Amino acid sequence: MAKPKHLHLRSEQDTRDLAAFIAPLLQPGDVICLWGDLGSGKTFFARALASELGVSEQVDSPSFVLLKEYQGRRFPLFHLDLYRLGSEAEFLDLGVTDLIDEGVTLIEWPELAEKYLPKRILNLSLRFSYRGAERTVEIVAKGRFSAYFI
């Protein structure tokens, strides 16, 4: 089992720096799962990562359309928000598992998708602390990502 690593993100720049560290590691077929409550910074991280991957479009939460595809410099980025899904069957109906190998898949609220995803996953659990006005991120790296987060 992968060991979690904890980071403190004291500013938006810290979040952008994390995205800048992760982006060059990514290749088609990789999946990043973003866990956390509303307002914890999942969509902000998604924007920062998309920017690092060369996406020129405005990235926003795909809450109502569920899936958005963006073209980066090297490969597509599939951005999903599964918050509104009610079942695993609804996730499977999206056809996401057929797209995974074509690009990088970034999933907000991944609970319903978890058992259908490949082994090369980077899980980021974001939490916002109102006392310190900072976010913490717990990183659990699986597969080849494990070497980068020790």
Q: Indicate whether 150 belongs to any domain.
A: no
Q: How far apart are CA 103 and CA 115, in angstroms?
A: 19
Whether 25 and 18 have beta carbons less than 8 Å apart is answered as no
Q: Indicate whether 101 belongs to any domain.
A: yes
Q: How far apart are CA 107 and CA 114, in angstroms?
A: 10
pLDDT digits (tens, 9 = 90+) for 8-50: 788 889 889 999 999 999 999 999 988 888 877 888 999 999 9
Count the domains in the chain: 1
Which CATH number do you get for residue 48? 3.40.50.300
Q: Which pair of structure tokens corresponds to residue 62?
A: 């795909």
Concatenating the DSSP letter of every residue in 39-77 gives TSSHHHHHHHHHHHTT--SPP---TTTSEEEEE-SSSEE
pLDDT digits (tens, 9 = 90+) for 81-113: 998 888 999 888 888 888 888 999 999 998 888
Mean pLDDT of 104-132: 80
Q: Indicate whether 100 belongs to any domain.
A: yes
The predicted structure's pLDDT at residue 127: 74
Q: Which pair of structure tokens corresponds to residue 129?
A: 């602390």
Q: Indicate whether 149 belongs to any domain.
A: no
Q: Indicate whether 134 belongs to any domain.
A: yes
Q: Which domain holds residue 29?
A: 5-144
| pLDDT higher at 33 or 127 | 33
Alpha carbon distances (Å) from 138 to 70, 73, 88, 149 = 26, 28, 25, 11
Q: How far apart are CA 119 and CA 45, in angstroms?
A: 22
